[in-house]
Structure 1
Amino acid sequence: MNITFIGGLFPDENMDFFRTHSKGIFQYAADVLQKNIIKGLENNVNQAINVITVPFLGDFPKACDLKVVNEEKWQNKGGQIHQVGFKNIKFLNEFSKYNALKKALENQFVKEKNEVDTIVIYGMFSYFLKLTAYIKKVLPDVKICMIVPDLPHLMGADNNKPHIKLYNTYTKSVVNRNIKHIDSYIFLSKYMEDYLNTNKPFDIIEGIYNTNEKNITESKEVLPTIFYSGTLALRYGIERLLESFASIKNDELRLWICGAGDGEEMVKEYSKKDNRIIFKGQLDRSEILKLQRKATLLINPRDGKDEFTKYSFPSKTIEYLSSGTPTILYKLKGIPEEYYDYCYTCDSDGYEGLRDTIIEVLDISKDERDIMGERAKKFILNNKNETVQSGKIIKLIKTLS
């Protein structure tokens, strides 16, 4: 089975380079998920996966200081990672990425005649959707599996802004024109299938655990420490977390926060007023994983009131539970029900509800909390690892032949 993966991961050789040139949010979660998918595919087919990537960088000049991304290629365990080159200027980069991807496909599969049975594409971006038409034109027998981590109109931007509305209209037209070329789907939430209203085969992969992380061990903090890592978005409940923590009268309690986003200034303001709140900025993923294991309690303050939570699965859910550190979550429609057997949930509204849940969980004996954390870790390790989850893609591909 000859599989090519097309996505936006950062090649390991350029990870530090892209991180240095990025401003604000860096797409760690998307990068990790793509690499886990590829690793799982390779485990299932026992051969290297050909990778073509157009790194998910922010636009120049606001979110990245790279005006141009250079083309580069690496050999990887018998396979190739091809980073296409493109102009990274806002609005123009959409067309530049499409042309670069088209050229890469033409060189690899038309001119060089490399073998390919299936192309797995990560993300419903306009340049990927337009690429499906080209694939079917030059490689009509190749099957396309589209991984949908986010719906196009819910990719984090402010949909009330005129230029975002215009862009969403454009993207919707691209989806409508090209969705017929996609043969199968992988969704992160079952509700995505209802929204796209497709009759094509699909399966659900809400997230993937990387088994390389199972050997990370750290000693616990002496003081009770709550930890949040991820996008500091106001719509993700960061203000509710800050308010709930600030209202707890316990001088020994600590709150660590890592990340970047539109709630960053608010976090800094709270940390100035309350020395128990420690803002650590945007750290390397390896440091995040260590801090998760050192903490007493992990928390995701995102509640299920907003419509977008139906179509998303917070990547930190698997990351948190796999750490072995007890976790508090809200119940979100996009999180499968089975996960809630392995965490504590906040079922009350407002910052008071979250505050009370934190206090209740901290009042549970350490032994009981440790049992919950270990159960969660085993659940993720055994059921959500890269081989099990990516195996769903292989099964889906086989139904198309």
Structure 2
Amino acid sequence: MNGNPNNFFEFPGCSNKMSYIVNSIKSSNISLTVICLGESRDGANHKSKDLKVDSLENNFFVGTMKYKIFSRLYLYFQIINILLFKVKKTDTIIFYHSYYLIFLFKFFKKIKKFNLIIEVEESYKAAWGKSDAEIYNEIKYLKGADAYIYVNDLLPNIIENTKPYVVCYGAYDIKDYQPLNKSHKQKRIVYAGLIAEKDDSDIYLAVNAMKYLDSSYSLSILGYGSNNAIKKIKQYIVENNLSTNIVYEGFLKGDDYINFLKKCDFAINPRVLSDRLSDYTFPSKVLAYLSVGLPVVSTPIRCIKESKVSGLVSFSESTDPSSFSNAIKKLNLNTNPISTIESLDKAFIVDLKRLLENVAS
């Protein structure tokens, strides 16, 4: 996918995953159009844009309007126009699950009879910690597609396992992997992801685990969040006398993000979400870590433990900071996950091509 000319709100996990899926389709010499849906961060009017990326890929960016309510309504109008007048019955749409847009795609599938593949990256209701009833209603809405791309191995049995599907945990592409000679004295840990304000969130588990580690360890935080959340975590680090061992590096993306990861010794995935809720997702950061050759320490969440990369991850016994620090101390730094990720990449390209052929036949 080609840039962000209409200045849409960006969600790194979504962009990286869909870019990988698009490139996997193109690896099989299949042409496609990527419809980029979003609302502008600058609250300005932007015309729709049609951009040619290469001989196989075109990108279409929807237009935006000045005020949020009008921009949302204009987004709906453009989607309806595309589904009614641009999409043919023989076309296949891969829809990245969006909670407030799925009803449009399900409704117009009934009218136009196009092939619909839903990419299920998570249950939003589960991610937001909602009730079982609300999660069930969201899952019910996901049923009825022609095929699925699931984010973990648990979801087929939760949503739909009688329709064709493939599983993709994240982007399996290896970024010019070369083992680096890391000369720094400290073992450099990296945490990448959301910085939340809640004291019982992932970032606070990562920071609190550092209280149990000696000065031979350092933690680099690559995160995004609200200004209040970032200010709060910085203050918490200072108040707990952790400033010499923990540094907030800011929010990095693209090559800057990958190059920073390569300089680290290992990465952490401190998830505090219970299995009841994390069964509906897979932490995209884990694949980002593994694809640059980093060993990973994670809390013991089922979506990772019952995956094809479980053997590449070291698990703590619980979500307690002391337990998590013990797992860090026991980590074997001599593991190399690259060959496994390369195998998953090759298998996914083949499986995705087969899925597309199956749906279209």
Q: Normalised by the size of structure 2, how large is the TM-score? A: 0.84
Aligned positions of 1:281-320 closer than 5 A? 281-303=250-272, 305-320=274-289
Contact kept in structure 1, 2:299 and 2:324, CA below 8 Å: no
Contact kept in structure 1, 2:84 and 2:108, CA below 8 Å: no
Partner of 1:148: 120
Partner of 2:147: 184
1:122-179 superposed Cα distances (whole Å, 9 cap, x missing partner): 11433243133224423x3x3111111122423x44759xxxx9xx79x958x86785
1:380 to 311, 330, 341: 341
Q: How many angstroms apart in 2 are the aligned matches of 1:193 and 1:203? A: 9
Question: Which consecutive unaligned segments of at least 5 residues does structure 1 have?
Answer: 1-10
Residues 189/91 of structure 1: CA separation in 2 closer, same or farther (3 Å cut): farther
Amino acid at match of 1:245: M
Question: Which consecutive unaligned segments of at least 5 residues does structure 2 have?
Answer: none
Deviation at 1:229, TM superposition (A): 0.8
Deviation at 1:240, TM superposition (A): 1.4
1:267-309 superposed Cα distances (whole Å, 9 cap, x missing partner): 2123433222100111223222112111122111114625221
Partner of 1:7: none
Contact kept in structure 1, 2:43 and 2:68, CA below 8 Å: no
Residues 295/201 of structure 1: CA separation in 2 closer, same or farther (3 Å cut): same
Q: How many angstroms apart in 2 are the aligned matches of 1:219 and 1:281? A: 24
Contact kept in structure 2, 1:221 and 1:294, CA below 8 Å: no
Q: How many angstroms apart in 1 are the aligned matches of 2:316 and 2:36? A: 39
Q: How many angstroms apart in 1 are the aligned matches of 2:149 and 2:58? A: 24
Q: How many angstroms apart in 2 are the aligned matches of 1:311 and 1:88? A: 35
1:11-56 superposed Cα distances (whole Å, 9 cap, x missing partner): 43327x73xx85xxx4111101101001101112x1322211103x
Aligned positions of 1:2-401 closer than 5 A? 11-14=1-4, 18=7, 26-44=10-28, 46-55=29-38, 64-78=41-55, 79-87=57-65, 90=68, 93-109=71-87, 116-138=90-112, 140=113, 142-154=114-126, 156-157=127-128, 159=130, 172=137, 179-180=143-144, 182-196=145-159, 199-211=162-174, 213-215=175-177, 219-222=181-184, 223-233=186-196, 234=198, 236-250=201-215, 252-261=216-225, 263-272=229-238, 273-275=241-243, 276-303=245-272, 305-335=274-304, 336-361=306-331, 369-370=333-334, 372=335, 374=336, 376-383=337-344, 385=345, 387-400=346-359, 401=361
1:295-346 superposed Cα distances (whole Å, 9 cap, x missing partner): 1221111146252211111111111112112221222221234322123221
Residues 325/105 of structure 1: CA separation in 2 closer, same or farther (3 Å cut): same
Q: Normalised by the size of structure 1, how large is the TM-score? A: 0.76
Residues 349/35 of structure 1: CA separation in 2 closer, same or farther (3 Å cut): closer
What secondary structure, in the 3-state scheme, does the structure 1 residue paired with 2:149 have?
A: strand
Contact kept in structure 2, 1:41 and 1:391, CA below 8 Å: no
Residues 330/158 of structure 1: CA separation in 2 closer, same or farther (3 Å cut): closer
Contact kept in structure 2, 1:322 and 1:378, CA below 8 Å: no
1:52-100 superposed Cα distances (whole Å, 9 cap, x missing partner): 1103x5xx7xxx3334443111012223211111347556655432211
Contact kept in structure 1, 2:300 and 2:318, CA below 8 Å: no
Residues 227/282 of structure 1: CA separation in 2 closer, same or farther (3 Å cut): same
Amino acid at match of 2:223: G
Residues 348/308 of structure 1: CA separation in 2 closer, same or farther (3 Å cut): closer
Contact kept in structure 2, 1:304 and 1:330, CA below 8 Å: no
Partner of 1:5: none
Contact kept in structure 1, 2:221 and 2:249, CA below 8 Å: yes
Contact kept in structure 2, 1:226 and 1:255, CA below 8 Å: yes
Q: How many angstroms apart in 2 are the aligned matches of 1:188 and 1:93? A: 30
Contact kept in structure 1, 2:207 and 2:237, CA below 8 Å: no
Residues 206/177 of structure 1: CA separation in 2 closer, same or farther (3 Å cut): closer
Residues 306/65 of structure 1: CA separation in 2 closer, same or farther (3 Å cut): farther
What secondary structure, in the 3-state scheme, does the structure 1 residue paired with 2:195 have?
A: coil
Q: How many angstroms apart in 2 are the aligned matches of 1:89 and 1:378? A: 49
What secondary structure, in the 3-state scheme, does the structure 2 residue paired with 1:12 have?
A: coil
Residues 176/158 of structure 1: CA separation in 2 closer, same or farther (3 Å cut): closer
How many residues of Structure 1 are paired with residues of Structure 2 in the alignment?
A: 349
Contact kept in structure 2, 1:230 and 1:316, CA below 8 Å: yes
Deviation at 1:236, TM superposition (A): 4.7
| The structure with more helix, counted as a fraction of residues | 1
Amino acid at match of 1:145: I
